[in-house]
Chain A
Amino acid sequence: MTLYLFLTLAVVSVITALLMVFSKSPVRSVLYLILTFFAIAGQYILLNAQFLAVVHIIVYAGAIMVLFLFVLMMLNLNSDTEPQKSTVWKLTAGIASGLLLVTLVGALRGSIQISTPAEANGRVGLVENLGRVLFTDFVVPFEIAGILFLAAMVGAVLVGKRDLQV
């Protein structure tokens, strides 16, 4: 049952990701990517990481993709306005990424040995544990991320202001 669920979600996410890459209309690409994100959120729930799943939906589907959709609709970037790369380049890119896939899979094959700890703690994905770890062991990366946010906010304000003065 779990396996079938996993496989369904995996197939959905891969197919929608491919459609996202190959879709002609950018708006459709955005919508396909949203479906991919939903499939990945499903994987998170399967992994007992509900918090991660919901935050993933809020952050990606709720904020970032809306912004992308917004920009696409405002600028009305349709398929005919997008400059296409040459067929040779596309072929090369396809071969290169195919090679990368083969290399990665070859390198990873059989090299994953994981010993699961005896006492399985089902409450690992819960908010309390995550918060505790974030504010104790990972407090420095956490604060750095906060500073990054601040810098991005200041930058956004600056960009907006400059547009106003012109």
Chain B
Amino acid sequence: MLILLFDTALILEKSILVIVLFLITLGVAAYSTYGERKVAAFIQDRLGPNRAGPFGLLQPLADGVKFFTKEDFMPNAAERWLYILAPGAFMFVACMTSAVIPWGTQLTIFPRPVDLQVADINIGILYVMGFTSLGVYGIMIGGWSSNNKYSLYGAIRASSQMISYELAMGLSIIAVVMLTGTLSLKEIAAQQTGFNWNIWYQPLGFLLFFICSLAECNRAPFDMAECETELVGGYHTEYSSMKLGFYLFAEYINMFISCTIIATLYFGGYNFPGVDPGWLGGFMGPIVLFAKIFFFIFVFMWIRWTIPRFRYDQLMHLGWKSLIPLAILNMLLTGAGVLLFEN
């Protein structure tokens, strides 16, 4: 269908972009594990990993080797195929979202300008929403098919948490959509030139979105799904070897992607005052965006090592009784503002 109308150069270009993006995602996720340990060590006044390579920089590699060489254990009573399928599905969904994110404007160093976005679909935000809502399946299927009550509890907690926080997240995204008048992430990023970022118009919306993305990633203080003191290991209690590795890894990918979306929706994406994203042959845009992303990843880690975990009923109260009413209020205020100032 679509592909027939395009030329081969475009297909080649997009495939290279996809592969590069995939590698970058994996690399960032791998080094987030290292970063997390280093940040934790810094906050707790320790040294952190420092044995594998200089400053422990080869630690993620060592972890990967460890995951691959561990015994791959499967419980007897597990639903065999679903048990194997679940981590893969979780990982797949986590990786899919990066397709619609505008990483920059255009690369101009090649013979033809290269768009730094895999697919500019006109409903980018909805696509992101759709794939975050699919993330629940990896957890639910994994927890259920392990045939272990702790896994099932973890899965049910994780999924009810994700469903609850998705609502507030969607409502805060709607406010952004009302403000920008488009569903395309590319246009949203392009509108925030210079210092004209959405955060100045949507401070409450940003706060809500940030809290919800913490919950969607199952990060502390909302990591009820793998609350060790109550649930052994949560939904991945019965997983070992690289299947467990997939789950842990996909969580870091999710964190990376949510930080990217926060940066794109509220903090100008690849824009920065005084910096043209077209500099360095177009590489300036991604550099600026990644600086913002790394900052937010750091904030995520900072929160994890600072704030204690919520209790489950507190979590649900926060989601349903505070965040959703606030998100609706934010939506009404945004609507009023748009009516007042745009006419």
Q: List residues of chain A with CB under 8 Å of any chain B CB.
A: 1-2, 5, 27, 31, 34, 46, 50-51, 54-55, 57-58, 61-63, 66-67, 69-70, 73-74, 126-127
Task: Return the contact of B133 from the options A31, A62, A126 (Cβ within 8 A).
Answer: A62
* Least Cβ–Cβ distance between A128 and chain B, in angstroms: 9
A interface, over-half SS: helix
**Do B123 and A61 touch across chains, with their CB atoms under 8 A apart?**
no
Q: Is A1 a contact of B4 with CB atoms below 8 Å?
A: yes
Find out whether the CB atom of A73 lies under 8 angstroms from the CB atom of B123.
no
7 residue pairs, one from A and one from B, having the closest CB atoms: A62-B133, A54-B126, A57-B130, A58-B130, A2-B1, A54-B130, A73-B144
Which of A31, A57, A62, A126 has the most B CB atoms < 10 Å from its CB? A62
Q: State whether A54 touches B163 (Cβ < 8 A).
A: no
Question: Once the chains bind, are B156 and A73 in contact (CB under 8 Å)?
Answer: yes
Known: A73-B152, A73-B156. A66 touches B130 (CB 8 A): no
Chain B residues within an 8 Å CB radius of A58: 126, 129-130, 133
**Chain A residues positioned under 8 Å from B166 (CB to CB):** 62
Query: Cβ of A126: which chain B residues have Cβ within 8 Å of it?
Result: 122
**A62/B134 in contact, CB under 8 A:** yes
- A100 CA to B140 CA, complexed, in Å: 37
Is the CB–CB distance between B130 and A62 below 8 Å?
yes
Contact B155 A66 (CB under 8 A): no
Tell me which residues across on chain B come within 8 A of A66, comparing CB atoms.
Answer: 133, 136-137, 140, 159, 163
Which of chain A's residues have a CB closer than 8 A to the CB of B160? 70
Name B160's closest neighbour in chain A (CB-CB): A70
User: What are 6 A-B pairs at a CB distance below 8 A?
Assistant: A54-B123, A66-B136, A66-B137, A66-B163, A69-B140, A74-B156
Q: How far is the CA of A121 from the CA of B68 in the complex (A)?
A: 53
**Chain A residue at minimum C-beta to C-beta distance from B131:** A57
Interface 0/1 of B118-147, CB less than 8 Å to A: 000111001101100110110011001000
Question: Cβ of B1 and Cβ of A51 under 8 Å apart?
Answer: no
Extra contacts besides A1-B3, A58-B130 (14): CB < 8 Å: A1-B1, A2-B1, A27-B144, A51-B123, A57-B133, A58-B129, A61-B134, A63-B133, A66-B133, A66-B136, A69-B144, A70-B140, A73-B144, A127-B183
- Report the Cα distance A51→B144, complex, angstroms: 32
Instruction: Compute how far the CA of A58 lies from the CA of B159 in the bound complex, rounded to whole angstroms.
Output: 15
Contact A55 B126 (CB under 8 A): yes
- The reply to whether A51 and B126 contact each other, CB–CB distance below 8 Å, is yes
Chain B nearest Cβ from A68, distance in angstroms: 11
The answer, among A2, A50, A73, for a CB contact under 8 Å with B122, is A50
Knowing A46-B1, A127-B183, the reply to whether A54 touches B155 (Cβ < 8 A) is no
B81-139 residues at the A interface, CB under 8 angstroms: 82, 121-123, 126-127, 129-130, 133-134, 136-137
Q: Which residues of B contact A50 (CB under 8 A)?
A: 121-123
